[in-house]
Structure 1
Amino acid sequence: MSATGTLLYSAELIQEGGAYKLVVTDRLRHTVQTAYVSRRAVEQLPVFLSKLDSPYQRGIRRR
Structure 2
Amino acid sequence: MRKLILSLELKLENSATGEEHVPAETTSAEVLYSAEVRHTKGQCTLTINDHLQGSVEVYVVPKRAVQKLPFYLSMLRDKLA
Q: Answer whether TM exceeds 0.5 for this pair.
A: yes
CA drift at 1:6: 2.5
In structure 1, list runs of 5 or more residues that go unmatched.
56-61
- Please name the residue that 1:21 is paired with: 45
Map of 1:1-63 to 2, 5 A cutoff?
A: 1-2=22-23, 4=27, 5-55=29-79
Task: Provide the rounded CA distance (Å) in 2 between the counterparts of 1:54 and 1:14.
Answer: 25
* Relative contact order, higher structure (CA 8 A, sep 6+): 2
Q: TM-score under structure 1 normalisation?
A: 0.76
Task: Provide the rounded CA distance (Å) in 2 between the counterparts of 1:9 and 1:17.
Answer: 26
- Three-state SS of the structure 2 residue aligned to 1:15 is strand
Rg larger in structure: 1
- Corresponding pairs, count: 57
Runs of 4+ in 1 over 2 A off after TM superposition: 2-6
- Three-state SS of the structure 2 residue aligned to 1:54 is helix
Identity %: 35
Task: Provide the rounded CA distance (Å) in 2 between the counterparts of 1:11 and 1:47.
Answer: 16
